[in-house]
Amino acid sequence: MILRILILLVLIVAPATAGAAECAQSPGKVIELCVSVAQGEARYEVRRNSNILFAPGRLGLDFKGEPAARFTALTGAERRAVDTSWQQPWGEQRVIRDHHVELAVTLAGDTPLNRAVRVVFRLFDDGFGFRYAYDAIPTGQAVEVAGERTEFRPAGAWQAWWYQALGADRDEYLYTQTDARRITLAETPLTMRGADGLHLSFHEAALVDFPSMLLQGDGAGTLKAWLMPLPDGIAARRTGPFVTPWRTVLIGDSAAALADSRITLNLNDPSKLGDVSWFKPGKYVGVWWEMHLNKTSWGSGAYHGATTANVKRYIDFAAKYGFDGVLVEGWNKGWDGDWIANGDKFSFTQAYPDFDLPALAAYGKARGVRLIGHNETAGAVPNYEAQLAGALKLYADAGVSVIKTGYVRPSGTLVDAAGGQHWFADQYLVRHHLHVVEEAAKRRIAINTHEPVKDTGLRRTWPSWVSREGARGQEFNAWGNPTNPPEHVTILPFTRMLAGPMDYTPGIFDLTQGKSELTRRVQSTLATQLALYVVLYSPIHMAADLPENYTARLDAFQFIRDVPTDWEMSKTLAGEVGDYAVVARQPRGGRDWFLGAVTDENPRKLIQPLDFLAPGKRYEAQIYRDAPDADFRHNPLALEIERRVVTGADRLELALRPGGGTAIRFKPLD
């Protein structure tokens, strides 16, 4: 729904000579970007508040079969100012404002495929994006992209939070903080902080039919786009005409400003699905954590977890405590033996004998609980695609409206029908994931992708793509060596979460699991597990622990029952990457507010103004906080629950213990 539109268009058709620049400024004149052609290169540079932010960086693609193009001129420029608002069907913020200035230029090159390249820049006050449009390539002409020239050359000294790309475990790694000049090959979003406190985040938007972009450092501060190649080394195969994804940079005076940017969403196309009211944000439980704890198994036999009797137990628990979904993993044939190596043996329609899908679907429906489907592929894409229609029909007939997919296989070894081995986010996998989403949407089924291609805001265009994993999640706290340190959840809001929702699966109450070694158990306090429901956004959140661990702590469990997953607005109130984060969200259509705060291994006291609350109104603050002696190392379960009356004029002390947090519900009294 478009709520407000203001578009001004100015067309300039006179060609610019080599060396002349075309420039544009963001709506508030915070950012100025200039593009020029000189010495055979097309380059762009960026100033912020009149200061150089990005030194001139190269632009363009290279194609197999022709030499690197020399650009000779800018053949024209188009500018327009846009100020619109649109509404998400679900999300971290209902109404999104899109306020930008667009500059489109055409680069004249000396090779057939680069003879006329349109580059579109969109400038926001908090960042910018640009993409390449190869409109001059004739319709249907096949081309092979060999590589990308795009450079980012931030001026000055920067610290970066990143991990080495192309690892076997896809994006499931802990972040490291280094001088940005030490970056070798990094995944995005890549976050950097300058000496003056300015923050940058590099990513992409609208990744469709193109390989994922990584960033390759040169040891001196320049980052160059590096595209995940297909097995034969080609980056992408396209037919003309085509456009690339947007290359994006978020810019903020603080880490919190990055977290509240909506540029990535704004650079995606409007929804293709129309009414998606059949998807309902919510919370779920499921047969999952017990498998990671080795209490039951995915495979058949005496320890099989996905049995009719066990799933009924979870359905009863969900119905009693107000959860609308139950995830069931390990229900289908194929889990026995080395399933990662034998993904082609999975059946997505045949259940193990002790699992009755129709009966369980009916049992859940009678209690107001839907099953959440699960299709683990082990990266055997051809096997899954061959069975996809049958699997989706099976689930649709059972009333399943969300499917969690999985691709647990070392990156670089996902095999296509011809035997070619793929990276987990090359063009082949990008195409596959969107194909699954499109086919599922036809049957009113939403997708939650694990081991995914990273999120690039496609949830705007395909709002049935509701969440993804794409980072080191809670499962590593069951068997990781080491498990996630406390700082991990203070880094995610300013790195991975800038891409989009994450299915982190919070809510573990048995934090030690009988283990004495700190790095083999959950490294957080109980209050942190509650706060994560607010800090880490997803429209579907799991209460991941075993039912009996919740019934043993119904006092703490109440916050999980109360916290929603769909929001009217969200505000990142404070934070530093790797240190702490404080987030407040207001439920869609409601008057409550919820706040979550988490810290790293260091205790800290934060004085938080409550000026996000409605002025002049009183609220009951239901506070779940670390007890004074709480510590993730030796006393993680120590929790205090307090109720007090507050107003928007108050300031609240958040006393976060080591590895700790605070979760608050503000309930209106007036």
Q: Enumerate the active-site residues.
A: 475
Query: Strand, coil or helix: what is 301?
Result: coil
Please name every residue paired with 376 in a beta bridge, in sequence order, or none if there are none: 406
Cα–Cα distance, 73 to 76 (Å, whole number): 9
Strands (DSSP E) contained in 348-400 are 370-376
Given a contact cutoff of 8 angstroms between Cβ atoms, the answer to whether 132 and 61 are in contact is yes
Cα–Cα distance, 317 to 371 (Å, whole number): 13
Given a contact cutoff of 8 angstroms between Cβ atoms, the answer to whether 203 and 191 are in contact is no
Neighbouring CB atoms inside 10 A of 253's CB total: 12
Cα–Cα distance, 542 to 539 (Å, whole number): 10
Residues 6 or more apart from 101 whose CB is under 8 A from it?
Answer: 24, 25, 26, 27, 79, 80, 81, 82, 122, 123
Residue 135, phi then psi, degrees to nearest 5: -70, -25
User: How does DSSP classify residue 498?
Assistant: G
Given a contact cutoff of 8 angstroms between Cβ atoms, the answer to whether 150 and 247 are in contact is yes
Q: What letters, b where the CB count within 10 A reaches 16 and e where it falls short, cover 611-627? A: ebbeeeeebebbbbbbb
Given a contact cutoff of 8 angstroms between Cβ atoms, the answer to whether 90 and 566 are in contact is yes
Given a contact cutoff of 8 angstroms between Cβ atoms, the answer to whether 58 and 69 are in contact is no
Measure the CA angle with vertex 40, ends 36 and 41; round to 5°. Answer: 50
Single-letter residue type at 121: F
Tokens of 364: 């859940």
CA nearest to 498, candidates 596, 589, 570: 570
Pairing of strands 185-186, 465-468: unpaired
Given a contact cutoff of 8 angstroms between Cβ atoms, the answer to whether 42 and 58 are in contact is yes
CA nearest to 511, candidates 503, 502, 520: 520
Cα–Cα distance, 293 to 632 (Å, whole number): 20
Residues 6 or more apart from 517 whose CB is under 8 A from it?
Answer: none
Radius of gyration of the chain (CA): 25
Measure the CA angle with vertex 109, ends 428 and 128; round to 5°. Answer: 60
Single-letter residue type at 573: L
H-helix or E-strand containing 534?
A: helix 526-535
User: How does DSSP classify residue 564?
Assistant: -
| Cα 440 off chain centre by | 20
Sign of CA pseudo-dihedral 332, 338, 340, 341: negative
Cα–Cα distance, 309 to 347 (Å, whole number): 22
Query: Strand, coil or helix: what is 323?
Result: coil
Given a contact cutoff of 8 angstroms between Cβ atoms, the answer to whether 180 and 186 are in contact is no
Query: Strand, coil or helix: what is 407?
Result: coil
Q: What letters, b where the CB count within 10 A reaches 16 and e where it falls short, cover 335-359? A: beeebeeebbbbebeebbeebbbee
User: How does DSSP classify residue 494?
Assistant: G
